[in-house]
Amino acid sequence: MKNDKPNPLDEVFDKFLSEKSKIFKNRDVLRHSFVPDELPHREKQSRLIAEILAPALQGSIPSNIFCYGKTGTGKTIVAKYVLNYLIDKCNEMNLTIPITELINCRLVDTPYRVLSNLCKSVGVTVPFTGLPTDEVYKRFQLALDSKEQLMIIVLDEVDELVKKDHKKGNDILYDLTRMNYNLEYARVSLIGISNDLKFKQYLDPRVLSSLSEEECVFDAYTANELQDILNQRAGMGFHEKVLEAGVIPFVSALAAQEHGDARRALDLLHKAGDIAERKGQEIVTEADVKKGQKAIESDIVSNTVNKMPLQSKLILYSIYKLENLALADEIKTGDVYYAYSQLCKSINIEFLTQRRVSELITDLDMLGIISASVISKGRYGRTKKIHLQIPKKVITNVVEKDYMIERLKPVDITLNKDKE
DNA sequence: TGTCCACTGGAAGGGAGGGCTT
DNA sequence: AAGCCCTCCCTTCCAGTGGACA
């Protein structure tokens, strides 16, 4: 398998395998998916959820719970933590262990897929498409009700399910929240998690009342609370005295500015450790944190842009080209559409309608890649005022590397008004 | 004060590509 | 093989809108 010539990659792997990390004791505990034995500053929420789920241990039907709070405020981890604890408790007391299923509705974003995941967790396989949703629901219900058991379903980012299709999203939630009425032996409890506080307004009142029988609010962490969380994880994840004194307060302060996002804080601490390690340092400094922050931001943006479909890249590229024009002090939807259609013509591909382009512009805005605010220009109509929000370097590094876009580099873009 | 612009954004539906049931 | 259903991406249609201008 090996030839005589040494592969330079050997050096990388050998070094990694032979040397113990001077920085990390255990990297995994710094991942936000890791569930520690204790959750600082989430005792109240853990207790509340545990109290709501506890009756299930005695065979009654637990209430559905709706948890909400901003990103990185510990909603998902608290749900996982309580469920793990519940399972341990059942083990300890020789009780039937509940089936638990955590579904992230950002990834599993249609009623069909949610149901097919639920089917899988009760041992039923369904095709990834082809069946009527009703049929998948029936199969799930039948399998679940085949014996006395409790199932706890956690729908993380449940708002995504409803935002995508109000009617279908509400229907599936209605069915799941009311499922207990149709079950003879099994019981179901639903935990809905959302970071969109406006989400409730999309919900059918019937769904809202049954989903939020109990509510659990997660406030943003303060800088001090973040420090406690980071200290706990750093103690497990880093070797002793590896972190320079100011590192944790600095990371906490940065994350507190980002509306108290613990996930972000952990990522940043992890990244800073990585940077220090790669440089062969023995301590992590504030400078590493600063570099880490830049690297994280740049990674996120580049990845997002890279994964976008061609049409969105072309729209983004049109905005970039327009921003480079001296006249483009105020880029409007119409300008972008005109520029975009020029680009499409130059590489001989069909262009989308303005309605669709307007929607894709909104998507880019949601991703934070551009800003697009609706403004009125009086008798000159209503439009979106558009600005690029990412460094132009990302466009040249990522978008221009797309093999389709490479073909149109020489094309000159003009503003809509220039054509008259 | 009414008009009118350049859109926005909701709703409905088409059709392609996938797969199931009968 | 036919009929049906799903998702995804898109089009078409159209009512609604904020505010500059006549």
pLDDT band for position A33 (50/70/90)? confident
**CA of A120 vs C1' of C4, distance in Å?**
24
pLDDT per residue as tens digits for the range A166-192: 777 888 888 898 888 889 999 999 999
Q: Are A152 and A99 in contact (CB under 8 A)?
A: yes
Residue A153: its pLDDT value, please? 94
Region A69-97: mean pLDDT is: 92
Residue A80: its pLDDT value, please? 96
Structure tokens at A331: 């880029």
Q: Collect all residues with Cβ–Cβ distance below 8 Å to A298 and sequence separation of at least 6.
A: A391, A394
Region A76-85: mean pLDDT is: 95
Instruction: Please check whether the two domains, A21-31+222-304 and A43-218, share a CATH topology.
Output: no
Quick one: which residue's CA is nearest to C9's C1'? A356
Residue A385: its pLDDT value, please? 92
Inform me whether the pLDDT recorded for A327 exceeds 70.
no
Residue A419: its pLDDT value, please? 44
**CA of A171 vs C1' of B5, distance in Å?**
40
pLDDT band for position A420 (50/70/90)? very low
Strand B contact with A380 (CB < 7 A)? yes
Region A84-98: mean pLDDT is: 90
Superfamily of domain A43-218: P-loop containing nucleotide triphosphate hydrolases (3.40.50.300)
Average pLDDT, chain A: 87
Residue A1: its pLDDT value, please? 46
**Counts of helices then strands in chain A (DSSP H, E):** 17, 8
pLDDT per residue as tens digits for the range A35-49: 999 999 999 999 999
pLDDT above 90: percentage of residues in chain A:
47
Distance, in Å, from the CA atom of A30 to the CA atom of A24, rounded to the nearest integer, reads: 10
Name residue, tokens 């551009």. Answer: A370
DSSP assignment of A148-168: S-EEEEEEETTHHHHHH-HHH
pLDDT band for position A32 (50/70/90)? confident
Region A224-247: mean pLDDT is: 94
Strand C contact with A355 (CB < 7 A)? yes
Query: Could you give the C-alpha distances from A225 to A42, A75, A394, A420, in angstroms and in order?
Result: 10, 15, 35, 59
Region A57-62: mean pLDDT is: 79
Residue A2: its pLDDT value, please? 45
pLDDT per residue as tens digits for the range A374-408: 999 888 899 999 999 998 988 988 888 887 777 76
pLDDT band for position A211 (50/70/90)? confident
Q: Which nucleotide is nearest to A359 (CA to C1')?
A: B9
Distance, in Å, from the CA atom of A179 to the CA atom of A210, rounded to the nearest integer, reads: 11
Region A155-160: mean pLDDT is: 88
Quick one: which residue's CA is nearest to B6's C1'? A381
Residue A364: its pLDDT value, please? 93
Which comes out higher in pLDDT, residue A286 or A412?
Answer: A286
Q: What are the boundaries of each domain within chain A?
A: 21-31+222-304, 43-218, 308-419
Hey, what amino acid is at A397? N
What's the distance, CA A134 to chain centroid? 28
Q: Which nucleotide is nearest to A127 (CA to C1')?
A: B19
**Terminal CA-CA length for chain A:** 67
Residue A418: its pLDDT value, please? 47
Q: Are A255 and A285 in contact (CB under 8 A)?
A: no
Residue A3: its pLDDT value, please? 54
Residue A416: its pLDDT value, please? 61
Minimum mean pLDDT range among A67-76, A121-130, A286-295: A121-130
Region A97-109: mean pLDDT is: 88
Question: Which overall architecture, per CATH, does domain A308-419 show?
Answer: Orthogonal Bundle (1.10)
> Which DSSP helix (H) or strand (E) runs through A228?
helix A223-237
* Burial readout A333-365 (b: 16 or more C-beta within 10 A, e: otherwise): bbbbbbbbbbbbeeeeeebbeeeebbebbeebb
**CA of A379 vs C1' of B18, distance in Å?**
48
Strand C contact with A132 (CB < 7 A)? yes
Region A111-124: mean pLDDT is: 89
Measured to protein CB atoms, the chain B nucleotides within 7 Å are 3-11, 17-21
Inform me whether the pLDDT recorded for A130 exceeds 80.
no
What's the distance, CA A11 to chain centroid? 35
Distance, in Å, from the CA atom of A108 to the CA atom of A114, rounded to the nearest integer, reads: 6
Tell me the range of A65-79, A124-138, A404-418 where mean pLDDT is highest: A65-79
Which comes out higher in pLDDT, residue A198 or A333?
Answer: A333
Mark residues 343-362 of chain A whose C-beta is closer than 7 A to nucleic acid strand B.
354-355, 358, 361-362
Q: Using CB atoms within 10 A of its CB, is residue A136 exposed (0-12), middle (13-18) or buried (19+)?
A: buried
Question: Which overall architecture, per CATH, does domain A21-31+222-304 show?
Answer: Orthogonal Bundle (1.10)
